[in-house]
Amino acid sequence: MTERSSTLPASHLLLAIAVMAVWGSNFVVIKMALAHMPPLLFATLRFALAFVPAAFFLKRPAVPWTSLVGYGVLIGGQFAFLYIAMERSISPGLASLVVQTQVFFTIGLAMVTTRERVAAHQWVALALAAAGLALIIANRGGDVSPLGLGLVLAAALSWAGGNIIGRSNPDVNMLAYVVWASLFAVPPLLALSLAFEGWPAIAAGVRNAGPWTWAALLYQSFGNSLFGYGAWAWLLARHPAATVSPFALLVPVFGMATSALVMDEPLQSWKLFAALLVMSGLALNLAWPRLRTALA
């Protein structure tokens, strides 16, 4: 096995930043597309296009079908909650920030499912993130409603559940895993779209979708899923997780900046401070173990 380098060459550094830019700007793309297509239909098509045609080029990973089903349903739920919230209940910038609480939900689920212990620094990190969320709640208004915040937290919880299932297959090709799991996100999302949005809304959404809507859908499926996960897995295969993972902190930075530039989302002082609190918690959770080792 090739030894993983803790130093990123310039090309790898630029690739990591590009992935974060795609994942962060993705929230504005979602918001623009939801103006023309119902959220559950949009989620259904996203996962359908993530599966086809990529499945013809990527062999099904050697994992139990139950793992693919569980991951697909939970990640499908993540985007169902997120899209419904973003339709009219939360701004793209705040959504990109709040959904990162999946880190703490993942820690909590790991405590329950694998009896992992929470370290002292993780409690401090959680407290910082919780303070940031409390600030968002205290200043809710046009940027976020209680429903929107609750739905994005539900999306984060679904994402965390998918993380717990995915981590049980540490040596799998993650891109192939995501592609094949996408197959199992489609049926429940389609059923929910038919039940809650109805066939007339589905037909109207497809009929009224213009080139930009379809481009947004392709951006979701190929840019966000295939390029993002593929490049991320490629980087993780060549560098330690501790070197690559901190780049995820750039997602809300790109998300909030893109929303401010493209959609004129205001960046009030309270919002910036809330972002600082949440991201400080995320940074502490990622960096403390490495810092403690360096200081030992």
- Residue-wise pLDDT for 29-52, tens only, equals 999 999 999 999 999 999 999 999
User: 99, 66 in Cβ contact below 8 A?
Assistant: no
Alpha-carbon distance of 32 to 295, in angstroms, equals 47
* Residue % of the chain over a pLDDT of 90: 51
Strand segments (E) across 67-137: none
Chain-wide mean pLDDT for the chain? 88
* Residue % of the chain over a pLDDT of 70: 94
pLDDT for 241? 65
pTM: 0.88
Average pLDDT score over residue span 140-152: 85
Backbone angles phi, psi at 35, to 5 degrees: -75, -15
Q: Given the structure tokens 């701004």, which residue do they identify?
A: 91
Stronger pLDDT, 180 or 8, i.e. the higher one: 180
Low-confidence winner among 20-24, 199-203, 287-291 (lowest mean pLDDT): 287-291
Stronger pLDDT, 112 or 243, i.e. the higher one: 112
